[in-house]
Amino acid sequence: MLPLPPGEMAGAGQRKGKKDDNGIGTAIDFVLSNARLVLGVGGAAMLGIATLAVKRMYDRAISAPSSPTRLSQSGKRSWEEPNWLGSSSRLLTQDMKTNLSRSLQTLPTDPSATDTDFFRPTKPKPSAKRSQVELKKSRLRLSLQEKLFAYYRRKVAIPVDEQVRAKQAAVDICAELRSFLRAKLPDMPLRDMYLSGSLYDDLQVVTADHIQLIVPLMLEQNLWSCIPGEDTIMNIPGFYLVRRENPEYFPRGSSYWDRCVVGGYLSPKAVADTFEKVVAGSINWPAIGTLLDYVIRPAAPPADLTLEVQYDPERHLFIDFLPSLTLGDIILVAKPHRLAQNDNLWRLSLRPAETARLRALDQCDSGCRCLCLKIFKAVCKSNPALGHLTASQLTNVILHLSQEESDWSQDMLADRFLQALKGLIRYLEAGVLPSALNPKVNLFSELTPEEVDELGYTLYSSLSEPEVLLQT
């Protein structure tokens, strides 16, 4: 191969250098053009300074003559500065400083902001978004608030005259039963009977249709003792066994209630059966009803110890006879456990104390706790799928919420209603609702898993639109 002429060799070298220069230059230009997107304005400025310095060194290297470097009289390098740098390195440095200063002035002050937002459509500020969301929530809350009050007036509240008539009917029946027991069973040790229940606490809803007649037993303190359910093989807090004590010193028959002892324990079922014979079999209720201008008859099974009283053509009242006993500071009632194998257990009476606490809290701050409870009770009474929820369970949900929230003014009814609804769903998910007065007691212990699932599903389905609960 023949050697190229010197001129052609120089041209080839220049073309090769230019090709290489264009390759590295293109890469640098690409990096610089995209740096702002990745690093932001300030980062791009710093990268540009560093890149220009590197490129300047690179161009000096490829533009140097083959001969050794010679210094001019001024002491500077003799080869020419690359054309792309301009006529003066001092002017270039000044331009760099100006660009950098402008870049720093445009840097975002929020550290969480990135410069890529510059290329995106303008979005509302987070504070504006929050304001819109809060405004929407406020409107929904006000709408629900209005619907709750309307539901209370339309469905929940019982007319005063209806309450008065129902209470009077209950008082009349109580007086007749008291007179009959004193006359026919004078040896039965009983304390004074009294009426109780939500009708007397102004917590009954929809219609005045039920009340309780408490029949307190009188027990000898030295012959009976209470055993907590959690200390028995059944392990059921909230229930008690009533044991007969000192049989060696006070043999069977020493107490009137020995006739109701089963296996050494006072049986609530045996006590209830004793009263049922009196209430349903010994009293001539049709004659008493004629005297009082009522229609009175024992309620149909499975209701035990219950009288149905028709005191108006369209109004009926159910009176539940509920034997109770007091040992020390423990009050028990003969309301059996739902499971038949636990029918020897007496139920701990927490309702009077729960109601008293709820009403006391409302009296202190003119709150809406009782109002919220009555709305929930009406919803459950009107919706068969929620029929397994009791007044005690709903009361305790609100008592628990009262420990978390202090503002129960009337204006907060919608918020508290929603919070109570969500709290009830959480308790159902856990399968545990502890009593606010006795945390050992699980108020869901008598519900079956299927009932818990149905209740939870019904309530959870209403979360997105709570107004559905008010349409029943």
Q: How far apart are CA 404 and CA 369, in angstroms?
A: 13
Query: Please, what sign has the CA dihedral across residues 22, 28, 33, 37?
Result: positive
What pLDDT sits at residue 211?
A: 95
> SS3 of 120, please?
coil
Nearest to 399 by CA among 339, 353, 458: 353
What pLDDT sits at residue 138?
A: 58
Can you name the residues that pair with 71 across neighbouring β-strands?
77
Tell the residue number behind the tokens 């369209």, with chain if given.
314
String of DSSP letters for 22-72: HHHHHHHHHHHHHHHHHHHHHHHHHHHHHHHHHHHHHHHHHH--SSPP-B-
> Token pair for residue 106?
């445009």
Nearest to 211 by CA among 200, 203, 222: 200
* pLDDT tens sequence for the chain (472 residues): 444 444 444 444 444 444 444 555 566 566 555 555 555 555 555 555 556 555 555 555 555 444 444 444 444 443 333 443 344 443 444 444 444 344 434 444 343 433 334 334 445 555 666 666 665 555 556 689 999 999 999 999 999 999 999 999 999 999 999 998 888 889 999 999 999 999 999 999 999 999 999 999 999 999 999 999 999 998 999 999 999 999 999 999 999 999 999 999 999 999 999 988 888 778 889 999 999 999 999 887 766 789 999 999 889 999 999 999 999 999 999 998 887 778 899 999 999 999 999 999 999 999 999 999 999 999 999 999 999 999 999 999 999 999 999 999 999 999 999 999 999 999 999 999 999 999 999 999 999 999 999 999 999 999 989 999 998 6
Q: How far apart are CA 348 and CA 345, in angstroms?
A: 9
Nearest to 435 by CA among 390, 465, 405: 390
Nearest to 354 by CA among 322, 391, 319, 387: 391
Go through 335-358 and write b for each residue having 16 or more CB atoms within 10 A of its CB, e for each that does not. Answer: bbbeeeeeebbbbbbbbeebbebb
3-state secondary structure string across 207-236: CCCEEEEEEEECCCCCCEEEEEHHHCCCCC
Per-residue DSSP letter, 130: H
Counted residue by residue, the chain has a size of: 472
74-to-11, 29, 71, 82, 146 alpha-carbon distances in Å: 31, 34, 8, 19, 92
Query: Please, what sign has the CA dihedral across residues 416, 422, 425, 427?
Result: negative
Can you name the residues that pair with 241 across neighbouring β-strands?
227
> SS3 of 8, please?
helix
What pLDDT sits at residue 58?
A: 54
CB atoms within 10 A of CB 452: 17
